[in-house]
Amino acid sequence: MEPRPDDLFLGCDLSTQQLKIVAINSSLQTIHEAACHFDNDLPQYKTTSGVHVNGDEIAAPVEMWIAALDLVLQRMKDEGFEFGRVRGISGAGQQHGSVYWSREAEGLLAALEKDKTLVEQLSPKAFTHPISPNWQDHSTSRECADHEAAVGSAEKLAEITGSKAHERFTGPQILKLRRNRPEVYHETYRISLVSSFLSSLFLGSIAPIDIADVCGMNLWDISSNTYSQRLVSLVSDNPGSLIQKLGIPETDGGRLIDYISPYFVHRYGFPTDCCVVPFTGDNPATLLSFPLRPLDVIISLGTSTTLLVTTPTYITDPGYHMFAHPTTPGLYMAMLCYKNGALARLGVRDAVSKVKDTWDEFTKIALETPVLGRENADDPAKLGFYFPLSEIIPAAPSGTWRFLSNGELEEVQPGGKWDVPRDDVRTIIESQALSMRLRSQPLLAQGAGRPGKIWVVGGGSSNPAINNIIGQVFGAREGVYKLLKGAANACALGGANKAAWGVLRKKGETFEDFMAARWEAEGGGRSERVVQGMKDGEGDGIWEKYGEVLGVFEEAERRVVASKNGQGH
C-alpha cells in the first residue's frame, strides 16, 4: 500500500490480566499506549488476575474480553487518539486459549451496528461456550497422555508438533471438551485461538489462525506444514470436521487479510482502508518487538515467565517448545515457559512489603542479599522453589521447598536456618533464572551456553533487582537491555511492528530487513542497557558461582518433582 506521512499502526495484546494497545508511527516509534485491566476495570466479571479458578480448571470469560475491547478503544477516543490515521492493525493473544463460535457467529460479526456494544451484539449468541480455557489450566493430564500415545512418545510428539503434550495446549483442551461436553463441541462452528479471536472482532469475520500460534496446539505438524492426521483423528472422530472448525492457518505473517469491519469505522473513526494483518501468540509477537541477533535471548516477565530464542535449526526436545516463526519462513522460535512467574513473585513481595502494593522493599532486599544467600564463602547456598500452581518446568506439584547446599542437599523448614520471607526474596528470582539458564544452554551452544544480549520485557522488567539477578545468573556477555518505551507492552509493540511491515513492506522485504532499516535510521535511542555485560572472567566470577550450583539445583528439582503429593510448606 502507498505510505502516507502520518500513518499509524496499532498492536493489541489480549494477555492474561489486561488488554493493551500500542500505537506506533511509520518510523516504529511508540506514540500512544492504552490498557484495560480486567480485574480493576471490569469487576463485574469477578476475575482474579484475569481468570476464574475452579480446582485445576482455569478459564476466562469470553464476554469480558469483548467488553474490554470496546472499553479500551473508547478510552483512546476520549483521550483524543486519531483513529483516522490508523492504516494497519495486528496483535497478539495469550497462547493456547480457545474460543468456540456458534453457527450464528459469522452473521452476527458481519452485521455489527455502531450504536450497540460488542457485548450486546455478540454475547452469548455468537458462542457455544462462554469461557476460554486459560494457559494456566492443568486439567487435561488424561488427554495429554492420549496425545503422546497417539504418536508413540513425548519425544515423537515434540518432533512433530514442536512440543511434548502440555495440559494448556489447545488439542488436549478441545479433546477434553469433546469428551465432557460433546453437545458443545458438536454445536461449535469454528474454533479460534485468543489471537485469531481478537482479529476476528476487528475483521467482522472469523480470522485464520497464524502460522506461529497454530504450533501451540499439539495438532500441527511443523515440518510438513499441515495438521497431523493422527492427532486430529485422536481429538475428533471426524477429522475433516475438526480441520474445518480450526481453519487452514495463514502462512504469510504480513498478509493484508481484509479491511477493518465497518463497526470500528463508524464507532471509533478508523479509515475504511485500515487493514487487518494476522494476529499471533503473545510470545511470537514479543520476538517482533526489536531486531534480534543470533544468541540474543528475550526473557518475558509477564504473568508467565518465558525465555525466547530465534533459531534457524529445527531441533526438538520435550524440555522446550519450538514454534514456526511468525514472519519468516525457515526460522523458528524456541521457548521455555513457566507458570509460576509474576504471581509467585507477588506472593513473596506481599509477604515482605511494609507498604501494600509496592515493590520497594522486595527490590531493596533482593539487591542487598548476597549471591545464593551466602554471607561468607563457606556458608551453604540457599535454593528455593515457589510454585503456587503446579509448574510446567519442571513438572512439579504446587508447594514451596527450601534447601541448603554445601555440596550435599538439606531440605529445611521455615525458621532457624531460613529467615522467611526475607530469604525468599533473592532466592525466588535466582531460582527462576537458574532454571532458565540450565535449560537454555543447548540453545546457546554456539555462545558456550551464554547469551549475547538479554532483552527483558513484560511487567517484571521494570524491576531493577530482577534484571540485575538475571544478568548475573546468565552472565550475558553484552548485558541486559530494555526498550526505553513500552517494555511492559512488548507483545503489543511486536504486533504493531507486524502491522507496519504488512502494510509498508516492499516486494520481498523480510520483517528483519524492514525492522533493521527503520530501527537504525533513528540512530538508536530506543533501548537502554540496564545491566552491564560480563565478558569471560568479569563480574567477580558470579556467573561461575551460579554455574557451580547448577548440578545441585537439578538434584533439588528432582526431589521437588518426586513430592507427588503436593508436599510443601
Q: Which residues bind ligand ADP (CB under 6 A)?
A: 15-18, 302-303, 342, 346, 359, 458-460, 462-463, 466, 488
Helical segments of 42-140, H only: 62-78, 105-110, 118-122
Q: Which stretch binds ligand 5SP (CB under 6 A): 36-44, 302-310, 325-333, 359-367?
A: 302-310
Contacted entry of ligand ADP, ligand 5SP, none for residue 172, CB cut-off 5 to 8 Å set by kind: none
Measured from the CB of residue 484, what is the shortest distance to ligand 5SP in angstroms?
21
Contacted entry of ligand ADP, ligand 5SP, none for residue 488, CB cut-off 5 to 8 Å set by kind: ligand ADP
Whose CB is nearest to ligand 5SP? 302
- Of the candidate residues 96, 190, 518, 526, the single one contacting ligand 5SP (CB under 6 A): 96
Three-class secondary structure of residue 215 per DSSP: helix
Q: Which is nearer to ligand ADP, 368 or 522 (CB)?
A: 368
Joined together, the cell numbers standing for residue 244 give: 474445518
Q: Exposed, middle or buried, 374 (CB in 10 Å: 0-12/13-18/19+)?
A: middle
Give the separation between CA 10 and CA 274, rounded to whole angstroms. 10
- Compute φ and ψ for 446, nearest 5 degrees: -65, -20
- Of the candidate residues 132, 195, 228, 303, the single one contacting ligand 5SP (CB under 6 A): 303
- Compute φ and ψ for 286, nearest 5 degrees: -60, -35
Q: Which is nearer to ligand ADP, 109 or 425 (CB)?
A: 425
Measured from the CB of residue 49, what is the shortest distance to ligand ADP in angstroms?
7
Contact yes or no for 17/37 (Cβ under 8 A)? yes
Give the separation between CA 300 and CA 313, rounded to whole angstroms. 22
Interface with ligand 5SP, residue 163, by CB under 6 A: no
CA dihedral for 462, 466, 469, 475, sign (positive or negative):
negative
Measured from the CB of residue 301, what is the shortest distance to ligand 5SP in angstroms?
9
Count the site residues for ligand 5SP by CB under 6 A. Answer: 16
Interface with ligand 5SP, residue 158, by CB under 6 A: no
Measured from the CB of residue 70, what is the shortest distance to ligand ADP in angstroms?
19
CA dihedral for 442, 457, 532, 371, sign (positive or negative):
negative
Measured from the CB of residue 435, what is the shortest distance to ligand 5SP in angstroms?
15
Contacted entry of ligand ADP, ligand 5SP, none for residue 283, CB cut-off 5 to 8 Å set by kind: ligand 5SP
What angle separates helix 550-562 from helix 422-440, to the nearest 10 degrees?
A: 100
Give the separation between CA 234 and CA 196, rounded to whole angstroms. 24
Interface with ligand 5SP, residue 95, by CB under 6 A: yes
| Cα–Cα nearest to 275, from 382, 172, 339, 202 | 202
Omega before 421 cis (within 30°)? Answer: yes
Interface with ligand 5SP, residue 192, by CB under 6 A: no
Measured from the CB of residue 399, what is the shortest distance to ligand 5SP in angstroms?
21
Q: Which is nearer to ligand 5SP, 282 or 430 (CB)?
A: 282
- Of the candidate residues 139, 261, 306, 340, the single one contacting ligand 5SP (CB under 6 A): 306
Interface with ligand 5SP, residue 236, by CB under 6 A: no
- Of the candidate residues 9, 12, 16, 546, the single one contacting ligand 5SP (CB under 6 A): 16
Interface with ligand 5SP, residue 432, by CB under 6 A: no
Measured from the CB of residue 219, what is the shortest distance to ligand 5SP in angstroms?
15
| Cα–Cα nearest to 163, from 212, 217, 210, 211 | 217
Q: How many residues appear in the chain?
A: 569
Three-class secondary structure of residue 273 per DSSP: coil
DSSP state, residue 223 = T
DSSP state, residue 373 = G
Give the separation between CA 375 and CA 175, rounded to whole angstroms. 52
Interface with ligand 5SP, residue 304, by CB under 6 A: yes
**Contacts with ligand 5SP, residue ranges (CB under 6 A):** 15-16, 94-96, 135, 168, 216, 281-283, 302-304, 306, 337
